[in-house]
Amino acid sequence: MKKYFLILVLFVSYSTLKAQETINWLSFEKAIQMNSKNPKYILIDVYTDWCGWCKKLDNTTYKNDSITKYINEHFYAVKLDGEGKEDITYNGQTFKYKEEGRSKYNEFAAMIMNGKLSYPTTIIMGKNEKVLDNIPGYLDEKNMEKILVFFAKEKYKTTTWADFTKSFKSNL
């Protein structure tokens, strides 16, 4: 009996030590505040509560330890509800929740998504807080890794996406 108890204790201890790293999600305002002190790229995950692909992204890609670690090291990560009712203030402008017919959305989400309300959408902002890319749809780990490296290593400044993907070597 002691042997089984010891095995259980060791298993629980190992599981605790091997606890999965999680993404340090921030509010948009907090990411902008932190960026003013220590500039980094900003990754914005635009989601909705009802979106099945958004949930899959959270439960797969964003749980991958390599992806999580890379995001935490190179980006300020923002989880943004595309239908969020909280006001967002950015560059002196306040963006509000809107309902127009059957559509409901946050004006800020609509603005950074160029009016195309598709969920999930991954937005990459530069260190200067300008939108560099707007990537709609679910991203698996391999595609997310390419996108993260493309921007964090500033490959987008010197090469096309097509050329980059031809020579990209995954670390997953």
Is residue 77 domain-resident?
A: yes
Is residue 172 domain-resident?
A: no
Which range marks the domain in which residue 109 is found?
A: 20-162
Is residue 63 domain-resident?
A: yes
Task: Sort strands 41-47 and 75-81 into parallel, antiparallel or unpaired.
Answer: parallel
Is residue 9 domain-resident?
A: no
Is residue 170 domain-resident?
A: no
Domain at 136, CATH number: 3.40.30.10
Task: Tell me what percent of the residues of the chain surpass a pLDDT of 90.
Answer: 83
Is residue 2 domain-resident?
A: no
3-state secondary structure at position 159: coil
Tens of pLDDT, residues 34-75 = 999 999 999 999 999 999 999 999 999 999 999 999 999 999
Is residue 11 domain-resident?
A: no
Number of domains in the chain: 1
3-state secondary structure at position 83: coil
Is residue 5 domain-resident?
A: no
Better pLDDT: 152 or 172: 152
Please report the pLDDT score of residue 21 as a whole number: 84
